[in-house]
Structure 1
Amino acid sequence: METSKELPWVLVEEIGGSYGVMEEHLDYLKERFTLITMKELKEKKEQVAEKIVCIFNWANKPDVNRELLQCLPRLKVIASAGAGVDHLDLKMISSFGVKAANTPNAVTDSTADLAMTLLLVSARSFLEGCKIAVSPETDHFKANWVSIGDITGATLGIVGMGRIGYKIAQRAKPFGMKILYHNRHQRPEEEMSVGATYCENLADLLQQSDYVMLVVNLSPQTEKLIGRREFKLMKPSATLINVSRGPVVDQDALVDALKEGEIKAAALDVTYPEPLPRDHPLLKLSNVIITPHMGTATCDALRAMMEDMVQSIMDAVKGHSISYEVTDI
């Protein structure tokens, strides 16, 4: 291991706190890097700015803007936790000669697990059942109380058959679900392995699906991908599940669709903004489940993300090809 004086200087938002490097990861990082916080950069810009070669972008922090990039002349790479990079202006970053990296492999299984959890919990009205079971007013269980429905034999429509979408399909197959998918490109090998059917047109998937699962990256093409027109195409008995990004769904249209019975329910791990304002109508609807963007919130996934970020940083420092470089700008 290198001595501390030789370690690459890496910018982080803070140590600990809501957006900082996790305490559990600190020893691993300090063995490899000299960590500089945003506070230290602001206080000692002249002494430290020219030494920083990488940014450790955890929980989308630090904010990577033009002003920050202009003051870091030796910056080589921005390593970002998670698969999504919609919080980064990749063209601007590239214009500074800086590369970007993410951690797509590290988040795949945990996000797919959370997606299936939301599907199962919403299908069986789990939260409502839990409230009934623990309510002080409950003196018996009604024999005719039922949940939304079984998932065995139901149709799951996956919008976005990338790494995570495929993992979700793998998990849905043993439940006996019929799997449809819509994607920019057909994936014959993957669809054969899980028995999925490709829907070239999104409308075809929406009209047939009992559960619509959103697993796309956020881009200008996918922003408000699901809006008023799409909700009218869905079954009144359908459930929308979103584990991608909040802006993929027109939330005003979603509220109306839920209130008017155009769809049965929604289960959302993502919204916009996050968290929602405490008076937002989605928080008041009984047919909505919302979780706090927790798709990757497991110890194993967070550790894997951190290690993949470290790998990309070390690749950049050594002048190697960056393992998890984002090339689709």
Structure 2
Amino acid sequence: MKVLCIWYATEEELARMRAALPPGTEVVAPKGEYFSRFESTYADLAPHAVDADVIIGFALPKGILEIAEKLKLFCWLHSGCDDLDHIGALSHFKRRGIKLANIRGANAVAVAEQAMMFVLGLAKKTIFKHEAGQEGRRLFPVFADEYRSAMLDGRTIGIIGVGSIGSRIAKHAKGFDMQVLGVRRNKSLPVEHVDSMHGIEELHSVLGRCDYVVLAAPSTRETSHFFGEPELAAMKQTAFLINVSRGSLVQERALHDALTSGRLRGYAADAWHRYEYGRAFPISFLPRLEVHKLPNVLCSIDQAANADDVLDRDITWGTESIIEFAAGAPIAREVDLDLGY
């Protein structure tokens, strides 16, 4: 079996994989100069891809799948598979009978911590008060609405998408004595630390009860732009919205209007909608309406998973999927190609 790493793997990473995989497994990676070691080029990968049984990595250059005629398993070292769907890879895998595995849950702890950082940052006006402190500016009068922090204790948080990340957020929220409401596709599956679980058809009634709403749902064709004006209108005017999934879940115009009109108290996000329509339209990876610059918004740019332990866990869990595949066993993190997760 030949395994192709589609990033410039270090010798230590390659040694770890070879030691874990069945004896005789060939594990190869591109060599040479690189700008980013996690993104390789077609030219560097093509000689290896033509006879690879397994491909594993973080970024897929255009054209590699078309020449990987022996491919049987693709290990995507991300939780979300929407980037693969965007380039038609999911339909390619389905047509060719290629299995797809991801590493869902590998970054759950880091992303859940980022979500709680956003919850606290918004509630406590962290950036605003930090800047006031740097300037030596006294916030007067005391307890004025514009200066007073929000509380988590006794408040209600709604988690939309209660998977590995959402369930971890629920656990953290309980540490702040919050009531936790969950919304997921299959509401019959109980999750620890969630006080009540609801189906997507109950979304609006749940939103109206929440002081904080966290979007942690997978990015699929069904969830694309599902959170718009009706959902924002269903929220309390004093509520905060936090998105640690994909920017494409939220409609930007509706979000901008809610934030600038006072209809929504604040917003925080790690990911933003990507506009990729070609040369006739402005291509960008940030909000066209510059939502990220509003005073009641906190942002990071795809940094939630950039944390200690995550890279090692990504590679380890991806390798585990290859071990399961090689043994003919069920792949624990196999992706349903119809659902996209």
Q: Is contact 1:41–1:49 with CA below 8 Å preserved after alignment?
A: no
TM-score w.r.t. structure 1 length?
0.84
Alignment of 1:179-218 (within 5 A): 179-187=180-188, 189-190=190-191, 193-196=193-196, 198=198, 200-218=201-219
Q: Is the 8 A contact 1:245 1:271 kept in 2?
A: yes
Q: Is residue 24 of structure 2 the alignment partner of residue 28 of structure 1?
A: no
Rounded to whole Å, the distance in 2 between the matches of 1:125 and 1:44 is: 47
Q: Which residue of structure 1 aligns with residue 302 of structure 2?
A: 293
Contact 2:157/2:210 (<8 A) preserved: yes
Alignment-mate amino acid for residue 35 of structure 1:
A
- Shift of the 29–131 alpha-carbon distance from structure 1 to 2, 3 Å rule, reads farther
Partner of 1:325: 334
Shift in alpha-carbon separation, 1:201–1:134, aligned structure 2, 3 A: same
Shift of 1:222: 0.9
Residue in structure 2 matched with residue 118 of structure 1 by the alignment: 118
Distance 2:148 2:316 in 1: 41
Query: How far apart, in 1, do the equivalents of 2:93 and 2:295 lie?
Result: 43
1:231 CA drift (Å): 1.2
Give the CA deviation at 1:124: 0.5
Deviates more, 1:241-250 or 1:31-40: 31-40
1:315 deviation in Å? 3.1
Q: Structure 1 residue 40: deviation in Å?
A: 7.0
SS in 2 for 1:153: coil
How much does 1:263 deviate? Answer: 0.6
The alpha carbon displacement at 1:57 in A equals 2.6
Quickly say closer, same or farther: Cα 1:103–1:147, change in 2 above 3 A.
farther
- Bigger shift: 290-299 or 117-126? 290-299
Name which of 300, 303, 308 aligns with 2:317. Answer: 308
Provide closer, same or farther for how the CA distance between residues 303 and 44 of structure 1 changes in structure 2, counting only shifts above 3 A. closer
Matched, 1:62 2:50: no
What letter matches 1:154 in structure 2?
A: R
Q: 1:41 touches 1:48 (CA, 8 Å); kept in 2? A: no
Q: Distance in 2 between matches of 1:9 and 1:156?
A: 43
In the other structure, the counterpart of 1:85 is 81
Partners of 1:228 and 1:278 in 2: how far apart? 17
Cα distance, 1:142 vs structure 2? 4.2
Report if aligned partners of 1:11, 1:52 keep a CA contact under 8 Å in 2. no
Q: Tell me: CA distance 1:204–1:43, structure 2 relative to 1, closer, same or farther (3 Å).
A: closer
* Contact 1:102–1:324 (Cα < 8 Å) also in 2: yes
Q: Deviations over 1:115-158 (max 9, x none)?
A: 111111111011111111223xx254546263441111111111
Q: Distance in 1 between matches of 2:116 and 2:45?
A: 47
Q: What amino acid sits opposite 2:60 in the alignment? A: P
Q: Structure 1 pair 39/272, CA: closer, same or farther in 2 (3 Å)? A: closer
- CA distance in 1 between partners of 2:125 and 2:244 (Å): 19
Q: 1:1-329 residue pairs with structure 2 within 5 A? A: 8-12=2-6, 14-15=7-8, 21=9, 25=13, 27-29=15-17, 33-36=27-30, 42=43, 45=46, 47-58=47-58, 61-63=59-61, 67-89=63-85, 90-135=90-135, 138=136, 140=138, 142=140, 144=142, 146-187=147-188, 189-190=190-191, 193-196=193-196, 198=198, 200-273=201-274, 276-277=285-286, 280-329=289-338
CA contact under 8 A between 1:69 and 1:96: conserved in structure 2? no
1:247 deviates by: 0.5
Q: Which amino acid aligns with 2:323?
A: M
Distance 1:87 1:238, change over 3 A: same
Q: In proportion to residue count, which structure has more helix?
A: 1
- Inter-CA distance 277–248: structure 2 relative to 1 (3 Å threshold): closer
Note closer, same or farther for the CA distance 1:276–1:309 as it changes in structure 2 (3 Å cut): same
Cα distance in 2, alignment partners of residues 39 and 305 from structure 1: 18
Quote the RMSD (CA, aligned, Å): 2.7
TM-score normalised to structure 2 length: 0.81
d(CA) in 1 for partners of 2:128, 2:137 = 16
SS in 2 for 1:82: coil
Distance 1:153 1:277 in 2: 35
Gaps of 5+ in 2: 22-26, 32-38, 276-283
CA contact (8 A) 1:225 1:249 kept: yes
Offset, 1:100? 0.6
The answer (yes or no) to whether the contact 1:9–1:36 under 8 Å persists in 2 is no
Please state how far the C-alpha of 1:10 moved relative to its aligned partner: 0.3
Aligned partner of residue 229 in structure 1, secondary structure: helix
- SS of residue in 2 equivalent to 1:55: strand
Local SS of the residue matching 1:132: helix
Unaligned 5+ residue runs, structure 1? 1-6, 16-20
Equivalents in 2 of 1:188, 1:48: separation in Å? Answer: 43
| Matching residue of 1:3 | none
In the alignment, which residue of structure 1 is the partner of 2:34? Answer: none
